[in-house]
Structure 1
Amino acid sequence: MALYTVIGASGFVGTRLVAALRQDGHQVYTPQRGDIELFSRELGQVIYCAGLTADYAARPFDTVEAHVRLLSRILQEAHFSHLIYLSSTRLYDSSGAERGKEDSDLVLNPANPRHLYDLSKALGENLCLTVAGTRAAIARLSCVYDWAPCAPGFLSEWLQRAAVEKRFCLDSGTGVVRDYIHLDDVVASLRALSDGAVTGIVNVASGENVSNAELVGVFARNGWDISLSRETAPQRAARCDVARLASIWKQPRLVRDVVQSYLKEHHGIA
């Protein structure tokens, strides 16, 4: 069995990843903050899940620490065979392009406070690609969701609420669009990238943008009465190219299909 090291093992993705690896009999090292053994022991295949999302603006220095500083030390000092760095498809948000392709140039503005997250992730990517070379890969994740208690994110919270309420209003617009990928598909994708010692950048996404209004329709067809607080024009967003992920693993399930199955299976709505 293989040796894995998961950085950020207590987070949303890291927790599910560690459980899946251990269930299959792999040895998994999950260093805590400040663990000095991280730089002296063999790490095997590293999957770097550490990072901040919703609170990055309030914690700028922690964001840089998680996305860049610790990563740079691992690349310089640690003993590993292969590393996967979790980044984000939100790096395409400012490009204005119709397609989010791994080899596309990014458009980032240092004067934009929102781009602290993007710039720190981009720097982490750059270190992996230019310093680690053939020993590292970048997984750009789209919006990850799950219905487990306390799973973060808009759709995750929506699904958790739907488990106990059949009628409610969400504070969001009809035209907001996202590329959603289920947590289990993320875990399977990361394992495929790691086991294949993949290099370069890979979009870990569904490849489909879905609006809030479309998701409301899925719930409505299954017996829920969900409304949104405001009507908004359809958002323009780059559609992630997932051809490379499909060639390595497969194309993840579409959010409409996953939500439809969940609603039927767990709530008995025909």
Structure 2
Amino acid sequence: MGAAATVVGAAGFVGARLAARLRAEQREVWAPAKGDPELFERDLGTVFYCAGLTADYDARPFDTVAAHASLLSELIRADRFERLVYCSSTRLYDGQRKAEVHEAEPLVFDPADPRRVYDLSKALGENLTLARTGGRGAVARLSNVYDGQDGAPGFLSEWLIKARTSRDITLDSSPNIARDYIHLDDTAAALIAIGDRGQGVYNVAAGRLSTNADIARVFESAGWRVGFTGAANPPPPPNASAARLADLGVVARPVEDVVADYLEGLKA
């Protein structure tokens, strides 16, 4: 039996896959329910903090702060863990005006922008993890995580799910939108590696941007038709370097390769 782990947010998209992966590696996993007071009373081993809000953060700003920082603060103050991995986001780089960014970049936020509650609360969570755990904390900044499972959130996940039932797909987006994508399984592998031997901040990312048009070409090569309702051409987001993650032995598979394999499986 491997070292004990606690997954906070194990009912969520990332947390559920992470807990399953840890159990597959014969590790003891505790997945506390939301609000379980034992979180502050029992020995937790390595904590993977996956709790948070994504799509509805703007409508629920106070819940966002509670999930990203308040609960974390109480967990750190109780001090019942050996290691702590905090799931943050590469969205924190959005204030940068650079083509490529890395983990040591100073972050830039506008505190007057109400939509920055997500970024600022995640940044506070990062600060608590890095500065208040006595060197036992590490931060994982996740890029756009996707998967083809039922109910998987996010633009690309929904695109993959649509491909199961239709060979003719119209997407409410532009072919010019670029994102860094990392598959859910690669994300889980990265988090475990960070928990085992990581220090500091890591971009859990592929380290490269792919446009909707790049991915659409993979669909079209496999026999699907893809159309877009928009034509916006915004500047691409900063590309988050994945070099530190590679130093831990984790390299995310290119999204085009994963999508090609997924579509091949649908045709089989």
| Alpha-carbon distance between aligned partners in 1 of 2:51 and 2:79, rounded to the nearest angstrom | 16
* Deviation of the 1:2 alpha carbon: 1.0
Following superposition of structure 1 onto structure 2, how do residues 73-222 of structure 1 map, counting pairs within 5 Å?
A: 73-196=74-197, 198-222=198-222
Gaps of 5+ in 1: none
Amino acid at match of 2:172: D
Name the residue aligned to 2:13. 12
| Alpha-carbon distance between aligned partners in 1 of 2:191 and 2:96, rounded to the nearest angstrom | 26
2:235 aligned with 1:235, yes or no?
yes
Name the residue aligned to 1:25. 26
Q: CA RMSD in A?
A: 1.0
Does the Cα contact within 8 Å between 1:45 and 1:194 map onto a contact in 2? yes
Name the residue aligned to 1:226. 226
Q: Deviations over 1:199-252 (max 9, x none)?
A: 210000001101111111110111000100022225322111111000012221
Q: TM-score, normalised by structure 1?
A: 0.97
* Deviation of the 1:98 alpha carbon: 1.2
SS in 1 for 2:132: helix
2:51 aligned with 1:50, yes or no?
yes
| Alpha-carbon distance between aligned partners in 1 of 2:139 and 2:31, rounded to the nearest angstrom | 20
Q: Deviations over 1:93-133 (max 9, x none)?
A: 11111112100011101111221100000010011111114
Amino acid at match of 1:136: G
* Deviation of the 1:23 alpha carbon: 2.0
Q: Deviations over 1:121-170 (max 9, x none)?
A: 00100111111141000000000000000000000000000011000210
* Deviation of the 1:261 alpha carbon: 1.1
Moved over 6 A (4+): none
| Alpha-carbon distance between aligned partners in 2 of 1:52 and 1:83, rounded to the nearest angstrom | 19
| Alpha-carbon distance between aligned partners in 2 of 1:180 and 1:186, rounded to the nearest angstrom | 10
Gaps of 5+ in 2: none
Q: TM-score, normalised by structure 2?
A: 0.97
Amino acid at match of 2:238: A
Name the residue aligned to 2:246. 246
Does the Cα contact within 8 Å between 2:189 and 2:250 map onto a contact in 1? no
| Alpha-carbon distance between aligned partners in 2 of 1:168 and 1:24, rounded to the nearest angstrom | 38
Q: Deviations over 1:15-42 (max 9, x none)?
A: 1111111122211111112211111110
| Alpha-carbon distance between aligned partners in 1 of 2:236 and 2:41, rounded to the nearest angstrom | 47
Does the Cα contact within 8 Å between 1:211 and 1:234 map onto a contact in 2? no
Identity %: 50
| Alpha-carbon distance between aligned partners in 1 of 2:70 and 2:193, rounded to the nearest angstrom | 26
SS in 2 for 1:134: coil
Amino acid at match of 2:228: L
Amino acid at match of 1:70: L
Q: Deviations over 1:47-90 (max 9, x none)?
A: 00000000000111110000000000111113110000000001
| Alpha-carbon distance between aligned partners in 1 of 2:116 and 2:167, rounded to the nearest angstrom | 37
- Say how many residue pairs are matched: 267
Cα gap change, 1:234 to 1:59, in 2 (>3 Å): closer
SS in 2 for 1:4: strand
Amino acid at match of 1:126: N
